[in-house]
Amino acid sequence: MTKRYVLDACALIAYLADENGADLVESILMEASNGNAGIRMNKLNLLEVYYGYCRAYAKEAARAMLEVVRSLPITIISEMTDSVFEEAGRLKSSYKISLADAVALAETSVCDGAILTADHHELDVVEQNEKIIFRWIR
């Protein structure tokens, strides 16, 4: 069975900026390139990265970042299924997490994968109380 991962914004940022944890994200991207893993990312989580690039750099840098991401073996999920919608709502109402984190966690839960993240501060409590698999990048 192919391993399934969901990428959250901080994991993608770590990879793009070559921050701590980038090596783990890169190794999973290599697995996906070789057909041994599937990587998904909700467009809402990609939007977090995009607006951060717009704010920190410029719109042109943000567009260039999108081109890089589109060249990676990541499936960008543009539509929200009812299952993800309902699970994200449940998670958001249960924990003090952002809507984007709730969506990433719901994508992970519904696809029966593992979330790639570094957001311990917000997500440790979710890991303790849910059956979602976490793959911490740092």
List pLDDT tens digits, range 45-91: 999 999 999 999 999 999 999 999 999 999 999 999 999 999 999 99
We report the CATH number of the domain holding residue 100 as 3.40.50.1010
Q: Name the percent of the chain lying above pLDDT 70.
A: 99
- DSSP bridge pairs for 44: none
The model scores a pTM over 0.85? yes
pLDDT score of 125 more than 90? yes
CB atoms within 10 A of CB 53: 20
Pairwise CA distance, residues 62 & 81, whole Å = 27
Give the strand pairing for 114-117 and 3-7.
parallel
Mean pLDDT value of segment 29-44: 97
The full length of the chain comes to 138
pLDDT computed for residue 2 by the predictor: 72
With H, G, I as helix, E, B as strand and everything else as coil, classify residue 97.
Answer: coil
pLDDT score of 43 more than 90? yes
Closest among 84, 77, 74 to 109, alpha carbons compared? 84
| Residue 87 belongs to domain spanning | 3-136
At position 130, the amino acid (one-letter code) is E
Q: Which two tokens stand for residue 112?
A: 């029966």
Q: In this structure, are residues 39 and 104 in contact, taking their beta carbons and an 8 Å threshold?
A: no
Q: In this structure, are residues 6 and 40 in contact, taking their beta carbons and an 8 Å threshold?
A: yes
Mean pLDDT value of segment 4-27: 98
pLDDT score of 99 more than 80? yes
How far is the CA of 116 from the CAs of 10, 25, 49, 59, 82, in angstroms? 9, 8, 15, 26, 23
Tokens 């399934």 — which residue? 4
Q: Total structural domains in the chain?
A: 1
pLDDT computed for residue 1 by the predictor: 58
